[in-house]
Structure 1
């Protein structure tokens, strides 16, 4: 900005003037933080008007001077809740990220997975800081909307290793199945064990069905494309390929079979809908061992697939709409409530960090890894006598300062300089290090 103004208008501006001008322009375009917080009551009223039944909450923090500052803002749309309850799998992923706009708080979000393994947004909240208290408040509202309270039975939650979130899940949802994100596990694993040779074995172990593994929420479609997803779902047809070969089932009891191929054998129970490989239990889709058993009985394989994967379930996930909102000038005015002030700035000890601290794996993927040469194995060399084995702080030839007995008008004589042998100075020219000059009063 300083260079552009100097070139265009032939005016020299300081960095402080440029910073103040930019701050003024941004406040005029985006509005001040105080104006944004004052419209939260109107924003919540507009959401309730356009999307009846939606859950919107504003939590304020009282101050000693009887004012109220912003603390938490939670939103969960009615159409999203109905779609998730109607056809999505009971898996919820929660995480938080920093906001870089006018408000420097944090965004807590919860997403689910539809029957096609796509990301399905559930709820979000803006908080001042991510800690145990804010996570508890967020999960309380989330569970009230999506499962009607309870202890979380039948729900799987995916998250990172945030300590406050771990404690809240144990206290608030004791019956939930809490799993960690596989990408975060790999990042922590890479800190201790270096090398790319661990990546492929890790993902092979993660996708193994013989032991319960942690899976990350993945997907490509967002809820904004609900109409497109609904149209595509009408063309879906559920089907399985030909009967798996080389797996031979033998009857062991009522709807209980032993399936083997070579030296491998698994127990398939059609009543419990389970298999010894645990693939059927993890995905709710019959594995190759179960398909061979079901086909040997001339039964329909699709009848043993969970209803969550049916076409009707997918259509029910996207048959509800989120209605748009008008411009802020058209929002209904809410009168009689306290004015919401911006949150207090949190000043942490030390110099504030401007950039986010990147993980080691992120630095390698982005190409910003700084390679430095280690000094391990290089002999220590003194910069005074140029001998190895010590530095200038412990050099025996270091001149010792003598106490001065002269008056304030006399100068202190310079210390004597040791004589150096030219042959003992490697890779540098022989020179004499002069003592620093002192000013005479």
Structure 2
């Protein structure tokens, strides 16, 4: 059974009490996975991601109206996907409602999944051995990251620099008009945005949310002939990175160096072996596996109806006359008919192959 954070109201209330200044976000992929149990369709999936990804509240409202219109066609008298999403505060899952103080636009829990994969080897260990394994792993990682950044010649961290360069490329499609001081009107496609380089904000919402220039801000900076590095938040600079990894995790002596106490040693809990093979990888959602795939990554073809996406066990369509399972009025199987309908080129290839 899979349980997601946004389905547990107790976690939300606990974070409000214990960490009131921390932003609490939900994973949009898990949200859609729950939503797809009742509201299906590729159109709703795309609209949900558009609504969650935009940094502008007006665009968010526009995408939500499209979600309502798309689902109203299918369920005119039922609770729509729009109403289902309305029960979840957008401050937890939509970029347009995030606090800009975090300088983070993440809307999925990939970081947690990555860490889960990172410590996969230690998950079956006893608790103390597991913690010690993780400690050693992180101890080495922190020093490797610090040494690697010390050799780096740039001022902005490489991953953020790659994103900025991508925005610079997108800035070529923007038309910029200078308003005065450090304010610009930027037109891209059918949309217009206002960029204020003095306040480091853009009406698209992504400049202030991420902490580095969006494509509209890059277009304004280029026209004003300014240095883009001056408009990047200090948290993305090399100096801040080195401060983060300046600390070390100290070494711990082996078991022979542990402090002896008069208490009785803790005994491990009884081991209850579950049935079947232990699961190592997480169970993927329905939206992550589109169609049945073979080991080679190819879509299955049903031997009964000769269509892709399923197999003969789950097939509900009529048998194709070209299928080997087809039996005509004469009782002959379709396999013989199929062999008789081979083209000359196919017959030649068979002879050559033999």
Shorter chain as normaliser: what TM range?
0.3 to 0.5
- If the length of structure 2 is used for normalisation, what is the TM-score? 0.47
Say which structure is richer in strand.
Answer: 1
Larger radius of gyration: 1
- TM-score by length of structure 1 reads 0.39
Structure scoring higher RCO (CA < 8 A, sep ≥ 6) equals 1
